[in-house]
Each structure stands twice: as C-alpha cells, then as structure tokens.
Amino acid sequence: MASDDLNSIELDENSTDANSLSVIKDQEDKPVRMGILVTAIGIGMFMSALDESIITIGIPTIANIFGVVKLRAQWVVLVYLLIIVGLTAVAGHLGDRFSTKLVFQIGLIIFSLGSLICALSFNLPMLVGARMFQAIGAAGVLANGTAIVTRFTDEEKRGLAIGFTALVAALGVVVGPGIGGVMIEYWGWQSVFWINVPIGVIGFIYVQFAIPATPSLEKGHKGDPFGSIIFAVFMTLFVVSITLLVETELTRPYLWSGLSFALSMLLLIGFILWERRIDYPFIDLKLFKNKKFTIGIFCALATYIALNSVAFQLPFYMNDILNYSTIKIALVIIGVPIGLAITAPISGKISSKIDSRILSSFGLGLIFIALLVGALLISFTTPLWFYVLISTIIGLSIGIFTSPNSNSVMSSVPKDELGVVSGFLQLSRNIGYTIGTALSTTVFYIILDIVMKNTGISDTLAEVNYIPTIKILFGLLCVFIAIAIILSLLRGPELWLNNNNQNDDSLEDKEVTN
C-alpha cells in the first residue's frame, strides 16, 4: 500500500488504531523481496486455482466409481466454484478487519483439511461436502493473496509482483486438467487431493516465516459481505434451476426448476437494489454504464461459458464413447494451456498497437471456426491428433482474445477503479465456468432425449445417440461465441490507441522540424 493510501484512512481518537497504522507503515518501509513474496503467496494461490479444474478430467471416473450420472457428478466442480464466487469478497473483508496474513493462513489450513476429506470420501455426498469445505479455504487464499503482495511491495515493483501472482493463479487453472489427467491415470482420482495436504502445510510454514504480520486495516477498507452472500445464493439457485430441468428422480422437475429460477430472479432483484444503496458494493453497477466495460465483460462471460462447456463434456465423450485412457484425454486437454501460453504474451504486447476490437474479434472468430469444425467432424473414427489439434487451436485463440479484451476493459475505467475491475474479470471467469458446466450438462441431456426418441434406441451411451448429441451441443456453443463476436465488434475503437498514435505523429513532426 502506498503512503497516499495510508493518508486516506480515517483515524479516530483511539490510540490502538494509530499504533496499528504505525506498525503497518513501518512494515511497508521494508518491502519483502519479490521472489520470496511471490513464491510464498503463489503456492497457496496456485493450488487453490488448480483445484478449480484439476478434477474436471476425473469426473467420468468418479461418476463410474460412485455409480452416479454426470448430472450429479458435476456438483463436485460446481460447488467449489460457487463457494469461491460467493465468499471471496467476505474473505477479503475478514482479511481487512483482522489480518490478511492470518486469513490467508487459515484459508490454507481449511483448504488442506478439505483436500484430506475429499481424498477419504467414499460417496458423492461426502465428496461434494468436502469440496464445499475446501472451497471456503480457497476463497480465503485467493481473496488475500494479492492484497498481501500489494501490501509488501513498493510502487516501483508492485505492478510486476501482482502480474506474477496473477500469472501463477491463471496457470493453476489452465494446467489443472493436464496435471489431473496424469495423476488420475497413475495414482487414482484421490491423488489430486492427497497432493494438496503436504503442499498446503509447506505453504503455511513458508508464509509464517517469510511474510511479516499484517494488522487490521478495517478503518480504511469497507466491504460488502452481505451482497456477496446474496449473489452466491442467487447463483446457486440459478444453477440448481438449470440442473433440475433434466432431473429424473424428482417428481415434477419442471415445477421445481421454475420455482428455483423464480427465487433466483427475486434474489437478483434484491441484490441489485442492495448494491445501489451502499457505498462499497460487491459489484459496482455504475460500471455497466461504460459501454466498453460492459461489452468486454459479456464477451468474456459468453466465451467462458462456451469453452468450459466443451472442457467439461469432452472427457465424458472420450471416456464413455472412444474409451480413451485418462492420459490420452489429458493429452487433448493440455493443448489449451499450451496454445494459451504461446499467444497470450504476444497478443498482450501487440494490443497496445492494434485495436482491441480487431484482435479480440479475430481470436473469437478462430474459436468459432475450431468449434464448428470440431462439431462437424467428430465421429467414432476421428483420430486422436485431430482432437489435440482442435484443442491447441482453441488455446491459441483464447490467448489472442483474452489479453486485448482484458486490456480494453481495464483501459476503459479510471485508475482508481482498476482493482475493482480486475476482480470483475476474475468473477466473470468463475461465473462463466459455473454456468458452462451446469448448462452444458442440462442441454446435453435434453438433446440426448430428443435424439433417442428419433433413433428409437434407449441406450444413452450408444454411438448412434451420443455422437449426434455432442455434435449438436458443440454447434449450439458456437452461438455463444457468435454473440461474443458481434458484441466485440460493437465495442468501438480504443480512444487511448488514437491518442497514442496522435502523440507519435506529433513526435515525428517535432523531429522533422528539428
């Protein structure tokens, strides 16, 4: 935190607050070495983000072992994402009120203990409950990690340190399926949770000795824990309403789905009214008056819904129909992070010279083509290399889209709102992943039921039923990308790019004059 931020904190007559702020200031005069800071915080953030996706590739295995359909097994993924969406703001508020380091460490312990219970789970309800507990810890880690990095870096190194920390968390999400595939193939699905326990303990000890204490900042930081909880309940009921549409063991599922949806909409209205009346909202609704911000967020949301739908459904198709081993499935999925790692830095660099509208739309167009070609050519005889190629192209395309889209969003707001907007981008990713997982499964079963009626074959795993269903599903996902392309093109030119070009022209004129 910069000294200007300290000056903005309102002090009362209480000497304890003054002493706390004095301690903070003394600590901030001695920043922690960047390497130590990023690695200490990065361990917990990497593992927490990793567990958003590491188990995705093992869901078919878990469904088979516990004897459940993927409609139920998907909650192993969903509950983790929902808890993080709802509790991250609460965990950040607790960090400000008590201690960011303390809440971060408690989060690590809860995450590690939750991982242990996950590994010991003997049925689906126990595993889902353990994942909820694990996610509570992950929210504490993810909410306070960047705050700690910000607190113990000076202005010169802060941006770089935060960038490294964000990269570590992003890598955790994108490499999760690949790491999970290898571990599940050789050591079973429980191994992806066992590994968290010793690493979590090591992370706790590392933070304890490497990071100084962090007294309360409550006087200068406000939060909206109530708003975040309302939003989490809204998201949960909305996702439940989607999954209940195809629930086979519930009488009158459409009625219960409709009730859940109606309640979720009432909560959404209540959430909007609440956010408009408080000074420090969980989601600043005023930002949506900004055209570039709104379009950028919805582009990201539509893209994440489509891509996570593919990422969730593809392992089931390859496991149930193609009989691929987990290692082969991991080989396909790993193409996404490889492609992303290649193009994201390049796209980010040139996004300062080429209009984000062009780069983002181009990346989305490539995703659309890859999904469409995949939908058309998927068959029982399609070779492995084809899936690897499509996956890699999608990864390359995501890298082309993400950096300029994020640049456009971040450049559209004042500097004093960059932290809020950065959190918004993270929130859109988690919401997209959550909705994509639930929506793709529900739509899959709706399409499958129609296909089975047409073929007259009731076997859900019959090739004649499954492959047309997956083709139609992936074709429908192209619609989300098409919407994102249209929105991206409508965002308009980047004004800051025009200003840069004008400045370059004026410099050239000066040189000629001289």
Which of 5-19, 275-289, 396-410, 481-495 is predicted with the least confidence, judged by mean pLDDT?
5-19
Which among 253-267, 278-292, 329-343 has the top mean pLDDT? 253-267
Say whether pLDDT at 108 is over 70: yes
Say whether pLDDT at 301 is over 50: yes
Which whole-number Å values give the CA distances from 327 to 57, 176, 321, in the listed order?
10, 13, 16
Give the model confidence (pLDDT) of 196-235 as tens digits. 999 999 999 998 888 888 776 655 556 677 887 888 888 8
| CA distance linking residue 124 with residue 130, whole number of Å | 10
Phi/psi of residue 2, each to 5°? -75, 160
| CA distance linking residue 146 with residue 435, whole number of Å | 26
pLDDT of residue 29: 38
DSSP letters of 253-268?
Answer: HHHHHHHHHHHHHHHH
Which of 241-255, 394-408, 412-426 is predicted with the least confidence, judged by mean pLDDT?
412-426
Per residue in 433-457, is it b (16+ CB within 10 Å) or e — as a string? bbbbbbbbbbbbbebbeebbeeeee
Averaged over 105-122, what is the pLDDT?
A: 94
Q: How many CB atoms lie within 10 A of CB 261?
A: 17
Tokens at residue 135, please?
A: 């996610």
Top-confidence residue, 72 or 505: 72
Say whether pLDDT at 14 is over 70: no
Give the model confidence (pLDDT) of 29-39 as tens digits. 366 777 788 88
Q: Diameter of the chain by CA atoms? A: 83
Say whether pLDDT at 269 is over 90: yes
pLDDT of residue 159: 62
Averaged over 433-459, what is the pLDDT?
A: 85
| CA distance linking residue 512 with residue 492, whole number of Å | 33
Q: Which among 348, 269, 320 has a CA at the least distance from the CA of 459? A: 320
pLDDT of residue 231: 85
| CA distance linking residue 184 with residue 259, whole number of Å | 39
Residues 191, 312, 83, CA angle at the centre, nearest 5°?
70
| CA distance linking residue 145 with residue 165, whole number of Å | 8
Per residue in 269-302, is it b (16+ CB within 10 Å) or e — as a string? eebeebbeeeeebbbbeebeebebbbbbbbbbbb
Which of 175-189, 287-301, 487-501 is predicted with the least confidence, judged by mean pLDDT?
487-501
Q: Is 11 helix (H, G, I), strand (E, B) or coil?
A: coil
| CA distance linking residue 301 with residue 192, whole number of Å | 28
Sequence-separated (6 or more) residues with CB below 8 Å from residue 197: 112, 115, 116, 119
Task: Answer yes or no: are the C-beta atoms of 214 and 148 closer than 8 Å.
Answer: yes
pLDDT of residue 280: 76
Top-confidence residue, 393 or 420: 393
Residue that the structure tokens 């890598």 belong to: 171
Say whether pLDDT at 168 is over 80: no
Task: Answer yes or no: are the C-beta atoms of 439 and 241 closer than 8 Å.
Answer: no
- When the pLDDT of each residue in the chain is averaged and rounded to a whole number, the result is 79
Task: Give the pTM.
Answer: 0.75
Q: Which residue type sits at 135? A: A
pLDDT of residue 109: 94
Task: Answer yes or no: are the C-beta atoms of 202 and 210 closer than 8 Å.
Answer: no
